[in-house]
Amino acid sequence: MGIGPMSLVIIGIVAILIFGPKKLPELGKAMGSTLREFKNATKGLVEDEDNDKDKKKVIEHDDK
């Protein structure tokens, strides 16, 4: 289960054949920035959810 080292090698070879060796660094950079943006967006969602939970706890504590 999962991707083994041989699978990664095959995927790399196929990527080189499809995109060419000159385009791969550009694609890697674009993929990295996309993942970074996604991570930052999901981090913001998690922080918003945590803030909402904290606010509810404060409200529940004040009601008692």
Map tokens 């995109």 to a residue. 19
Q: 40-51: per-residue pLDDT in tens? A: 888 877 776 666
E-assigned strand segments in the chain: none
Domain count, the chain: 1
Q: Which residues contact 15 (CB under 8 A, 6 or more apart)?
A: 24, 27
Q: What is the pLDDT along the chain (64 residues), one digit of tens a residue?
A: 677 889 989 988 998 899 888 888 898 899 899 999 988 888 877 776 666 666 666 565 555 5
- Which of 34, 33, 28, 30 has the alpha carbon at shortest distance from 12? 28
Question: Taking the model in full, what pTM does it have?
Answer: 0.49
Range of the domain at 12: 5-63
Q: Which residues contact 24 (CB under 8 A, 6 or more apart)?
A: 15, 16
